[in-house]
Structure formats: C-alpha cells, structure tokens
Structure 1
Amino acid sequence: MDYLKTVVPSQLIGERGSNLVVINPGSANVRIGLASQQVPFNIPHCIVRNVKGLDEGMRRAVKDQMLNSQATPAQQLEREKAYDIIASLLKIPFLDEEAANNNFPRTIGRIDGYMPHSNRNDSTFTWTTVMERNPISSSVIEDTQKDSLETTSGHGKEPSSEEYKFKEFICGEDALRISPVEPYCLCRPIRRGHFNVSQHYPSQQVCEDLYTIWDWILIEKLHIQPSDRNMYSAILVLPETFDNREIKEMLSIVLRDLRFSTAVVHQEGLAAAFGNGLSTACVVNIGAHITTITCVEDGVALPSTSMTLPYGGEDISRCLLWVQRHHQTWPSIQTDPMGKPIDMLMLNKIKESYCQIREGEFDAVAVVHSYEQDRPVGSHKTRLSSLNVPPMGLFYPTLFVKEEYPPPPRSWFHDYEDMLEDTWHMEFSRRPDMPDGLYMTSNGAFSMWENYPVFPTRSKKEENVGLAEAISSSILSTGRIDLQRKLFSSIQLIGGVALTAGLVGTVEERVLHAIPSNEAIDTVEVLQSRSDPQFVSWKGGAILGILDFGREAWIHREDWIRNGIPIGSGRKYKDSYFLQAQAMCYYNS
C-alpha cells in the first residue's frame, strides 16, 4: 500500500496493465481490451453459425428470435399519444396535423441541422464473405492448379466446391452483415440485460457462444493465444442486471474455458464512477437494450437504489424508423431491423449522426441504404423528419414498442430471483475437459458456487417509467437529504446514447421537475464525462484492476475449479477515498 501511494500512474499501467484483460459485456456490444489501452475494442456481441452445424431446435429458435412482432392496437394508440405530448413540448405539429399537411413528398432543400460527425452519411455496409479456403484440399488444389495453368490461357477460374467451404462461425460486426440468403443463423447470447435463455436456446449453448465470441476476440484482436493466458488476469465489469448464476457462469468461462490465471468481478456502475474519478455519483447507463441507474456513495454501490428500465439506444433507432414511415419520408424499401441486422446497423448510424433533442421542427437530408437479397446495395437520398422526437422516448417510453422479439415460451427470469430453477433441474452431460468439482449435478448445484456472494440485491425492474422519474426515485430512495443533494448534483450519463446532443440539458430540466415539491432539492446537475461515455465503465474497471490487484477479491483459477470460494468480507472498498485519489491521478498526469 505504501508503494501505491508513491508510484506514478503511468508506471502502474506499464507494470500491471499489460497483463490485465478488461471484459465489459453488454446486450448488444462487448468491450474488451488490455488495461494499458486507452480504449477497448467495441464489438457487436453476437455470433452466426452455419446451419448445418445446428440441430433443428436451435435453428428454429434463432429464426423465432428474428420475427418482428408488430405493435398491438393498444401499443400503437399509446405510442401516438406519446408522440403528441412530445410534439407539444418541442413545439412541432402533432401526428394528425402533420399527416393532414403532408399530401405530397418532401423536397430536398437547405439544411441547418446539427452535424456531430464528419461521416454523417456513411451508413453503407457491405455483405460479409462467408467462404474460406478448405485446408484439407489445399495441397491437392495447388497441384491441380499447376497442371491447369498451361491450359487455361490466363483466364480466371471459378473456385470449386472442394477448394472453398462455409466458415463454421463468424463473430462481431461481420456476423451482422451476412446476407439472408446465406445458410447462417444469428445468435445473441445476451438480450435485454440477461442471458438470452429460451426453450430452444439453452443456457449451455448461451455459454458456449459467449466463450466462442470472447475467445475469438482474444485471438484475433488482442493476439493472446490460449497457451499464453495463464500469464494474464481478467477483470469482469458486469451490469447490475445479471443474477448470481449468470455471473458465476461468466466466471467459469473466464477461468475454466478461457484459462485466465485469476479474475475479479466489478459492478458496472461502480466502475463508471471510478472511471470518471468520482467517489459519489448517480450513474445512469443508457445501453442498447436497457437503461440502468445505480447510486454510488464513497466508492460503494448502494443496491437499494438500482433500477432497470427496459429500453435503450436500439429502441430509439427503431422509433426513428417508425416516425419516418408515419411521415412517409422513408423510401419504399424493405427495411427490417429485426429480420436483417444490417438494417439495424444502418439505423444506428443514422440515429448517431442526426438525432438530437431540440425545440422546433428538425429535419435533415440523409442517404438511406437498401439491402435486398441478390441485389447491389441501393442508395436513396431523402429528407428525414422529426429527428428530435425519437430520443424523447427516454422520457416517454410508451413511444417505444419495447419488445420486437416474441416472448420466450415461458418465463425464464423473475425480478428478484436467479435464473428460473426449472432450467437447472436437468442432467447435463459432463464436458470431457471439465475438471472435478465443476459440473452440474442432478439437483442443479455447483459445488464451489454455494458460498460465493456477488451482488446482494438485484436491480428493480420498471416497465413504463420515464428516465427522469426513475433517476429521481433512485436518488430519493437513499432517504438522507445530504446524500440526496449530493447525488442530484452528481448525475453521470454513460453509454452511447449519452452523446446525444441536447440530452444533458433535458435530463437536468426534467429531473428537477420530477422531484416532489415537498423535497428540499433545488439543484440538478449532470457532470461532464472525463472520457468517452461509451467506454467509461471499461476504463474504470481497468483502473480498479490496476489499483486493486492482488487483494482478496481476486479469484485464482485453481481455487475456482477445485476448492470453492470462501465467503468474502462485506464492503470491498473500505479505503475508497484512497482509491478515489489514485484514480484522479490518471486524469492529472
């Protein structure tokens, strides 16, 4: 500890950061990198597998996930009501007024809109190549090609079926850019803040997909081979939505399957506070699928304040499409963000480039692309309308149709419980490489997990609560006026949506109005992030891992596999002020 008080932060990064891998998994993206890096790799958290390698049940499950469930009449009515409320606030025409005055297509004219990105029109993507050379026949092919060179007279030759084969699996963004005509099924192991477990997508397959994705990133992006991972430690920065069984599964993936020497778990909200050099803050993480709120006091997360809202950035993107179709500004193309993931990539890019919160009518000229089967990518220049409406859905969530996917066959998760017990009362075949002490028994027990405490309380799930009301409720639940005042003045917005222009001022204004009049609070402030809001939790996990390395919270691979984990102490960060001061050095050095 004395050494830590005198060491220069850059020296610590050099000594420890190069052997610490920080993993921050989310529903749509996973952020992975060495603690010594400035920013991590930000990679779509998905995988496609060749359908020939899947059984019929798994193939049907993935197809089910891609089905687009239309809004019910009741949802449509609520959505239209929310639009009109937002239109009144933003001083723009209501839906019916707009429709009555829009009997002809909009023309493309001068645009005075906000331009946050230089590549604002770059929403063009290309289909992924799904074929690779067949190593088995390569030597035979080479010999054959040598013999045929003399007879082909220099003309090109089509690859034979023996020379090329379909890739077994594809990860990351490449998995989202595969043509629907190709024989692949997309799998998303995490959805809406939980393992994407269903009747046809069992937890074993979810874990296998997580392992494959992370292993691919470690090899292809970080160039860390399995044989070298015993020299590395892993930091898992996990959202508060995961229950204990899910956390323990991810620890097993990291320690047993990926073969890291040691690992530690940090809460995402707490890591975000440290990532911005804060010891006390209300952390609001607006992810792609969910939004979480957690209050941190003196370097300790307060479980009773945690809330989960079932909407995020992708809901804004889908709402953007709905608004354009209603105003008849979207080209006559088949855009299906659930059935064609490449369309969601395009919508996300358009949202990031154009959407913002501001008063008055806000249109913009954009290039929209069409991705049709067996056709070249099409470009369509159009004038998009009401681009300030979709992000306001954060405050009026009935504007979103929350679930585009059909519900699972039965309830797999409960608000305050771990993964449904029924899914664990099954016999699973033991993997041949699984050591003693680490496999599922007939009653669903894992011998080393019974006494391993992770997060004492799951976050409360709220369905139709707006962001401002949720933030106010979370902070007021602390019950102490001095802490409440400090938290209302220390709101931290993180996640990609936090970059939306106009969001900070809107949060401050609407949270202030959401505070009950009998509360003695008159100031609300959103703090400016010291680093990219998309990666601040990952960065905080890196800082905590470097400063906290070697303490009792770290789990050794052998202990996890063979001996079980002893019950740990209560508050992990009793010296959080010291860690806070150390974290601040990273921004002042």
Structure 2
Amino acid sequence: MVGKVSERVLLREGLERTDNGMKQTSWPDVPAINQKNYYTDYMKRDDQVLALRPQAEATRDRLVQTAKDRDRALARNGHAEVPLPIPDLQGAEDATATADGQLDPSKIIVIHPGSQNLRIGFASDALPKTIPTALATKFPQTESEMYEALPRRKFEGKTPTNKWSKKYQKMCSELKVEMRANKRKVLPNSKELVVNYNRRTEAEKIPTHNDPLQVEWTDLENLEDPNSAASCFIGQAALRVPDDSNPKFKVWWPMHYGWLNEDEYTTAEHLCDDFETLLDRAIRQELGLTKSSSWRNYSCVFVIPDLYDKRYVEQVLKSCMSWFEFNRVCFIQESMAAAFGAGYTQACVVDVGAQKTSIACVEDGLMVEDSRINMKYGGFDVTDTFIRMMLYDNFPYQDINLRRRYDFLLAEELKMKHCTMQQADISVQLYQFHLRAPNQPTHKYQFKTYDEVILAPMGFYEPNIFDNSTKLRGRRKLMDRSYNSYDVDVPDDPQSAAQLAILALVQPSVASGANGFQPSASDPNLATPMKEKSQPFNFLSRENGTPMGSNAPSPGPEGTSTPVPAPFLFSANGNGTASPAPNGTAGASGTNGARNGLSPAPPPPGMFVDSTARSAKTLAIERDAVLPVAPLDIAILTSIQNAAKGDDKKLRDYLGSIMVIGGGSKTPAFTQTLEDKLKARRPDLFDRILVSRSARDMDEQVVTWKGASVFAKLPANDSWITPFEFERLGARVLHHKVLWAW
C-alpha cells in the first residue's frame, strides 16, 4: 500500500489539488430523508384516483344542487324563517334525481345471459323476457348435418363391455334396493314390460287438418334484409326455423356451459359479433328500443358468473360502452344477485342451470371467494341422458336427434313432463307424445317408462352417467386466459380453494404445486386477493408448531376435543382413498395430514428449489384440461366447509340456509332429495341441514335476474362505470369499480 504523498511531490508532478469554490452542479441539493419519520399520501386518497374522483364530484354537485333548490323554494314561499315540511323536500330531491335518469328504474336494463337462456328486461319490470341464446343465420349446412347426432349412439350395442350400459344397469339395481328399503312396491318384470311394449308400438299418422296444436314455424320472409348475410333470427324464432328450409339456416349458440362457445366458432370476431348481435336484437325486439340513438339514455346492469373469465368481462364492458353506448354500466355476480333477489343475508346459493351448476356462499351481501364452485353439468345433461336411457329401452322414436330443432324442443318437453325425483311415482306408466316436424304429417307415439324418469335426474349425484366427452373441446381455442399486468407469465383469472378441491377429486395431481407440495394459503394463483386466506384443503388444521420449534405441541383446533363422526370422504372411483379435497377430520396435524393422504407443508421460500418445477402457466393449463364434475352433495359440502374456515357456527348456519335456484332444479322433489343426500353425508348435523327454494314463491329461473334489478335500484351504488372513465382507463377501471377483489 502506497503511503501518504507530500504536497511538494504532488506539486512537482502537477497533481496539486486546487479549489476554486465552484459547485459541482447547479441542481439544488436535496436533503436525505429521515428514515425514522417520513410520510406520504400518494395514491392513498380517493381524489387521487380517476375512477373514484367523478363519483365524489357528483355527490358534491348533488348536495350543492339540493341546497340551491331548498333556498329557492324558501325564497319563493316568502317566509324564509319558516322551514318547508320534510316530505316536500324529499319529493323535490326525488324529482331531481329522476330527472337526469340516475334513479329511474325504467331507464335501467338488466341483462342475465345463461348457458341456454337469456333474460333481459327493465329494472322496473316484475319479470324479465326470456329467450334462448340462439341465432339462426344462413349457412350451407344445418347443425344436424355438421355434427354427430345427440344422444350419441355408442351404447346401442348393449354389449357387456359397454361402460355406459354397465353404469345404467348398476343404477337400476341400486334403485331397486333403495326402493325395497323404503317399503316401495317393486315388480320383478317391470323393465321387461317397458322394453317389450316400446319395441312393438308403431307410430300413428294424424292428418294436418285433424291436429289442432300445429306448430307455427318461422316464416323466412320475415327477415329484415333477405339479401344480407348478417340478417338472422334470435331466440324462439331461431329454434322454429324449419330444418329443410331453402336457403338453409344454422343455429349458433354463443354461450355454452356458462362460458363463450369457442368450439363451434372459427374466429373470435365471429363469436363476439354473434354475442353482441344477440343482445342487440333482444333489446330491439323484446324491450322495444328500436332506435340505437336512445340507448345512451339507459344504464345497464350485467350479471356475470361467480367464477368468471376476465377476458369475457372485459369484452362485455367494451361492447356495452362501444357498441351499445350505454349511459352507465355495472356488474354483479350471480350468487350475489340471487341473494338480493331472495332477500337472504346469509345463504349457500346452488344455481342449477341448463349446462352448468354453480355453488357459492354469500354472507352479508358479499360472496366468500374460496367457496365458489362451477361444475359443467345441468338440465340439458338430464335431457340428453333421459333420451339415451329411453333409446336403450327401445324408445319408439329411434331417430330422435337433439341436433335437430324440433327434436330438441320435443326432448325438453318430455323431460319437463315426465322426469321426477319422487320414488312414489316410479311405476310402469303409459304416455304419449306428438312429433310435429315441418312439412310432414303429425305422428302420434305411445311409450312406457319405468325408472328412466328418476335415474336421469339422479345423474346430479352420479355425474359419470352424463356424456362429458366433448365439454372441454375447443376450450381456450380462440380467447386466451388473462395474465397479470406486471408478470405476463402468471394467469390472474379468479380461482377458489373449493374449485381446486373439485378438480383434485377428478385428478389429484392438479392440487400439487412446484416440487409436489400443496399450494399454501398465500399462493396468489389459488384465489383472488383477500386479506385472509385459509388452507384450501385442510382449513381445520391449525397445529403448525410454534415459530421457535418448541417441543411442546400446539393446541388442537376448536371443536375437535369431542370425537365427531367423519362427515364424508372424497373418494375417486369409490375406492375409499381420501383425496386432497377438504375433510372435516383429516389432517389435524402434520403427521395426521400425511397419514390421511395430504401433502406435507411447503418448504420455506428459497429452499429445495427444483429447476424442473411447473410454472404458474403450466399449472393453469393443466387445471383447464380437467373437467370440473363432482356429485352435487359433495360439491355443496366442499363449498360450505371452505366458506366456514373451521368456524362451527358458520358451518351450521350455511347448512341451514341452502337455497336452490335455476331452471335445472324445477324437477319435482329435487330439494327433498338433495336434503336427504346431505343428511346422509353429515349425520352428525341431521337436524341442522335445510334445503329450500327461493323465498316469496318466486320462479327459480328468474331469482338471479330479480336480484340484479333490486341491486340496480339501490340509491347508493358505487360500482357504476361511465363512458368518461372507460375512455380514460379502459378495462383497468374494473379494479376500482367492482364490488369484489378484481
């Protein structure tokens, strides 16, 4: 190390230090911040957020206008010292509020698109207009010519190796045993009577002039512009277009299984255009708003699924602002809307639709995010399975094809008339139906049924009897999943612990994260952000040891001091092995969790890193490849246990307030059967379980729409999105406006 050099040496070498007193820079000096005491309010006030600022300004302007109106009324009265009566002021405020359309229910359009039906109407209407979510446009081929016939004829061989035949025969045998146990009369040759009668029966032709209930088919001359390829029919008119029409028409379904139908479309533009056209024609034809220039005076409340795709919601927002140009738009989730419609503050909402079944728990008007479940079966699967069972038993109309429009309507009619879940109604019955096809004489058929009418809806508890082979076909083909804005490789579509448990029941490998460890409660890919997260599969487990590694064991979870019988076991294929799905008794500690089939706790961050571990995108792709299908009673218990988070009181409250809605639940004795199934799963809470329909004797199909209309009329609603906000922020405005964690 060189020692200190003298100034004389530096002067000789020309390295002497000189100082002319000039600063290094003219930029002002910034004193260092005091790390012990500093404060900033950046982005901590509402007036700093563009999406929240107009709302505060509107409230302030309304208060100023109210004060001006009050002063003007007092001055006009001539007695300024005498205040006006309160009712007069209230009336003046209401008149002001409704003058600009802010609180006028007749200026609010409520839209609820389901998997098979679209419900639309004004918030002031008692009931919505219901139309099928179908469009018929000119096409070289009809849907019956393009696709395979439904139900699929794979089972017709009736060979012993046919899997579906084995499942059907097993369900028949189990039903006989159960009916005998319930002291029901079971004839030994009932099935043979049905099969032999259906084999011998012949169709009877009825001349057209003798059929008073002839169907009025859609007249093709009613097209707005017959020469335009964009002209179409929607709703019931689309399903009444003759299959042998000239030119040919194809029926498109933009919604399928609760999400956009990417399977039947080739481009995303065509899919979105059909969805917008469906809403456009519905507003014009059903609501009478024929001039699009008047839509700017109307607001819109749009109902979206509980487990939604962000791309779908963003596309809907873009359409409402750009295509329809509504005055305001807000979104509400289905289960929240159902709770509003039924007037429940706490409930487990079970929405059985046509092609999907969603379950979620609602508490104090907000949804418990980890309780959301979306399964891909519903009323249409019951229709398909019922016709398949009838064909297996020699149904006289063997050429039935649900791809044909008149056969689809006939199958829906047969299901609604004959399917039941009441064992007292099961016996050999003789029925008849009329087949009315376009440009053909009416055919009258007679047929007998036995246990098909109850086994088809019992598929909700035996979903493997449904045809699930094509439900994921085309998924993510046209529209990719949404990704995080800051990390483009991390998907951010909402997930829930209950949905992950259902997927783990079907395929256990999806429950494990990197290195085979179970995802922790802090995993951002497990659910949408919340302040508090629980373990997705073993939320009753609270014994993780003390932080310093004490030898003393941690206290046991509350409510487990007294032995409680196991509520139920998730077992795949009936082998009795517990899957990673939640369980009320499994996994009280780390060793017990491993012994019960649960994975150990994840290692600390930064340890045991595997270079071959699966990424978040890979996990999302793997989960998308698993069809979420599970017995309805198991799914409800899974949702409730994830909502309760180990709280025994909440668990009992949710079990006592299960509300079943949706058109798929209108089968007779549906709620009684579901209640019996749940009580069999949880015998320890036999007296607590209560399954009911919606209050006020409301139609189950319109409860969600009715709740959305009630929500639209609330005076204090902070979730409205205006065109000004959408123009400045785009889809980012949803982060500030929706009532849940976006």
- If the TM-score is normalised by the length of the shorter chain, which range does it land in? 0.7 to 0.9
1:417-456 matches, within 5 Å, as 419-420=479-480
Matched with 2:640 is 475
Shift in CA distance, 172/283, structure 1 to aligned 2, threshold 3 Å: same
CA distance 1:520–1:324, change in 2 (3 Å)? closer
Give how far 1:45 is off: 0.4
Pick aligned residue for 1:512 from 669, 673, 679? 679
CA deviation after TM superposition for structure 1 residue 555, in Å: 0.9
Cα 1:522/1:20, change in 2 over 3 Å:
same
Cα deviation, residue 271, structure 1: 0.6
Taking the aligned partners of 2:108 and 2:263, their CA distance within structure 1 comes to: 34
Offset at 1:64? 3.7
The equivalent position to 2:417 in structure 1, one of 339, 353, 357, is: 353
Is 1:35 paired with 2:118?
no
- Residue from 525, 544, 549 that aligns with 2:690: 525
Deviations 1:29-76 (A, max 9, x none): 011010111110111001011116xxx9xx899934877644473234
Q: Secondary structure in 2 aligned to 1:293?
A: strand
- TM-aligned CA deviation for residue 505 of structure 1: 1.1
Contact kept? 1:508, 1:524, Cα under 8 Å: yes
Task: Give the 3 Å change call, closer, same or farther, for CA 86–194 of structure 1 in structure 2.
Answer: farther
CA distance in 2, matches of 1:62, 1:285: 33
Deviation at 1:483, TM superposition (A): 1.0
Q: Which has the higher strand share?
A: 1
Distance 2:449 2:213 in 1: 14
Q: How does 1:266-415 map to 2 (within 5 A)?
A: 266-328=332-394, 330-337=395-402, 339-360=403-424, 361-372=426-437, 374-386=439-451, 387-403=453-469, 405=470, 408=473, 411-412=475-476
The more displaced of 358-367 and 293-302 is 358-367
For residues 514 and 374 of structure 1, the distance between their equivalents in structure 2, rounded to whole angstroms, comes to 53
Task: After TM superposition, give the deviation of residue 203 of structure 1 in Å.
Answer: 2.2
Residue number in structure 1 paired with 2:313? 247
Distance 2:179 2:409 in 1: 28
Is the 2:347–2:363 contact (alpha carbons within 8 Å) kept by the matching residues of 1? Answer: yes
* Matched residue, 1:23: 111
Pick the aligned partner of 1:174 from 219, 224, 237.
237
Which one scores higher on RCO, CA 8 angstroms, separation ≥ 6?
Answer: 1
1:488 to 655, 675, 680: 655
More displaced, 340-349 or 69-78?
Answer: 69-78
Larger Cα-atom Rg: 2
Task: Give 2:537's aligned residue.
Answer: none
- With the length of structure 1 as denominator, give the TM-score of the two structures: 0.73
- Write the letter of the residue equivalent to 2:739: K
Aligned-residue offset at 1:384: 3.6
Kindly provide the CA deviation profile for residues 147-205 of structure 1, in whole angstroms up to 9, marking residues without a partner as x: xxxxxxxxxxxxxxxxx999921110121122222211111111111111138432221
Query: Which residue in 1 is equivalent to 2:536?
Result: none
Partners of 1:277 and 1:66 lie apart in 2 by 43
Give the whole-Å Cα distance in 2 for the aligned partners of 1:205 and 1:275: 34
Q: Give distance in 1, aligned partners of 2:388 and 2:144.
A: 26
Q: CA deviation at 1:106?
A: 6.7
Q: 1:304 to 1:278 in 2, by over 3 A?
A: same
Q: Is residue 331–residue 738 contact of structure 2 (8 Å, CA) maintained in 1?
A: no
2:726: which partner in 1?
560
* CA distance, structure 2, for counterparts of residue 103 and residue 247 of structure 1: 49
Seen in structure 2, the aligned counterparts of structure 1 residues 126 and 133 have a Cα distance that, compared at 3 Å, is closer
Q: CA-atom RMSD, angstroms?
A: 4.1
Using the TM superposition, give the Cα deviation of residue 455 of structure 1 relative to its aligned residue in structure 2, in angstroms: 5.4
Match in the other structure for 1:192: 257
* CA distance, structure 2, for counterparts of residue 554 and residue 303 of structure 1: 22
Partner secondary structure for residue 304 of structure 1: helix
SS at 2:300 equivalent: strand
- Residue number in structure 2 paired with 1:148: none
* Distance (whole Å) between structure 2 residues aligned to residue 317 and residue 60 of structure 1: 18
SS at 2:313's partner residue? helix
Deviation at 1:393, TM superposition (A): 1.5
Change (3 A) 1:233 1:123: farther
Shift of 1:288: 0.3
How far 1:508 moved relative to its partner?
Answer: 1.0
Residue 335 of structure 1 and its aligned partner are, at CA, apart by 1.2
1:375-399 superposed Cα distances (whole Å, 9 cap, x missing partner) = 1332324344332332222122223
Cα separation, 2, equivalents of 1:398 and 1:35: 40
CA distance in 1, matches of 2:144, 2:300: 32
Change (3 A) 1:293 1:86: farther
- Distance of aligned partners of 1:303 and 1:84 in 2 relative to their CA distance in 1, 3 Å threshold: farther
Tell me the equivalent position of 1:572. 739
- Cα deviation 1:344-368 (Å, max 9, x = unaligned): 2222222222322112424544432
Instruction: Tell me if structure 2 keeps the 8 A contact 1:234–1:260.
Output: yes
Give me the whole-angstrom Cα distance separating, in 1, the residues matched to 2:636 and 2:319.
Answer: 34
- Output aligned runs, 1:204-223, within 5 Å: 204-223=269-288
User: Secondary structure in 2 aligned to 1:263?
Assistant: strand
Aligned residue for 1:217, secondary structure, equals helix
CA distance in 1, matches of 2:367, 2:147: 38
1:81 counterpart = 2:170: yes
Residues 355 and 123 (structure 1 numbering): CA distance in 2 closer, same or farther, change over 3 Å?
A: farther
**Counterpart residue identity of residue 86, structure 1:** L
Runs of 5+ consecutive residues of structure 2 not aligned to the other structure: 1-58, 64-86, 156-161, 201-210, 487-491, 504-627
Counterpart residue type for residue 356 of structure 1: T
State how far apart, in whole Å, the 2-side matches of 1:255 and 1:455 are: 24
- 3-state secondary structure, aligned to 2:167: helix
Contact kept, 8 Å, 2:422 with 2:454, in 1: the verdict is: yes
Q: Which residue of 2 aligns with 1:140?
A: none
Residue in 2 aligned with 1:546?
713
- Residue pair 2:431, 2:448 contacting (<8 A) in 1 also: yes
Aligned length: 492
On the 8 A contact 2:111/2:300 being kept in 1, the answer is yes
1:536 partner SS: helix
TM-score by length of 2: 0.59
Q: Is the 8 A contact 1:26 1:193 kept in 2?
A: yes
Tell me how far apart the structure 2 counterparts of residues 131 and 377 of structure 1 sit (CA, whole Å). Answer: 24
Give the C-alpha shift of residue 80 in structure 1.
Answer: 3.2
Q: Which residue of 2 aligns with 1:128?
A: 218
Closer/same/farther in 2, CA of residues 363 and 96 from structure 1, 3 Å limit = closer
In 2: Cα distance, 1:381 partner to 1:252 partner: 52
Structure 1 unmatched ranges of 5 or more: 109-120, 137-163, 425-443, 448-452, 575-589
